């Protein structure tokens, strides 16, 4: 993994959807597939992609007994397909990506039950916990940004005529107070939960 994480400026994109197939070959796997909605794919140096492992004695389709792993694949083996034509979230660059017959070394394939390489509390967390905590943190960030934008609007906008300015309206003040309280409590809950886990 030192080769993959040797440059702190590298960017990583991933897809946990099992939209690829990895055929077992000597020393590793041959990976092919097309993954949809891979955010940040245009900027990524490495991709972490989930695949179904196939061999003579393993299932060829998803279902009971299917063997799934995450594969670290360098940008040179990935083609971006321009499919992200949207009105919002255009900055995520969530295009499809295609990998065709890329060789991936055995040590670049990680199973969900693989031994922990760095034995610390964080690394021992199940992948679902890590993903959930990350999604919760993003949601809190969205709430904070929305609250900050509303406060900025209140400071800048003046209402013409007899109506009160935005900042002087009770409903707006209540919304800001509720947002700040909710943000503080949910952030505390997230930190407490992660610490407990």
pLDDT in tens, 60-105: 777 777 788 999 999 999 999 999 988 777 888 899 999 999 999 9
In this prediction, residue 16 has a pLDDT band, given cuts at 50, 70 and 90, of confident
Average pLDDT for residues 168-196, to the nearest whole number? 94
H or E element in which residue 93 lies:
none
Q: What is the pLDDT of residue 133?
A: 86
60-91 per-residue burial string, b: 16 or more CB within 10 A, e: under 16: eeeeeeeeebbbbbebeebebeeebeeeeeee
Angle between helices 170-196 and 127-156 (to 10 degrees): 160
Q: What is the pLDDT of residue 87?
A: 78
CA–CA–CA angle 191, 192, 194 (5° rounding): 65
The tokens for 34 are 């097309």
Average pLDDT for residues 147-167, to the nearest whole number? 89
Average pLDDT for residues 130-138, to the nearest whole number? 86
Fold of 12-111: Butyryl-CoA Dehydrogenase, subunit A; domain 2 (2.40.110)
Per cent of the chain over pLDDT 70 is: 98
In this prediction, residue 59 has a pLDDT band, given cuts at 50, 70 and 90, of low
| Cα dihedral sign, 127-130-133-139 | negative
């Amino acid at each position: 993994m030192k080769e993959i994480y040797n440059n702190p400026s590298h960017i990583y994109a991933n897809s946990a959807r099992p939209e690829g197939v990895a055929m077992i070959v000597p020393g590793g796997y041959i990976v092919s597939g097309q993954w949809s909605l891979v955010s940040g794919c245009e900027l990524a140096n490495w991709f972490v992609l989930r695949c179904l492992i196939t061999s003579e004695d393993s299932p060829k389709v998803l279902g009971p007994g299917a063997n799934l792993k995450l594969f670290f694949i360098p940008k040179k083996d990935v083609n971006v397909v321009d499919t992200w034509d949207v009105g919002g979230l255009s900055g995520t660059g969530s295009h499809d990506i295609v990998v065709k017959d890329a060789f991936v070394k055995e040590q670049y394939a990680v199973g969900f039950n693989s031994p922990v390489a760095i034995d610390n509390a964080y690394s021992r967390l199940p992948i679902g916990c890590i993903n959930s905590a990350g999604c919760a943190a993003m949601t809190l960030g969205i709430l904070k940004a929305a609250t900050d934008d509303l406060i900025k609007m209140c400071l800048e906008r003046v209402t013409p005529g007899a109506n009160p300015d935005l900042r002087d309206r009770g409903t707006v003040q209540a919304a800001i107070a509720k947002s700040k309280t909710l943000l503080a409590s949910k952030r505390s809950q997230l930190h407490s939960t992660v610490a407990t886990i």
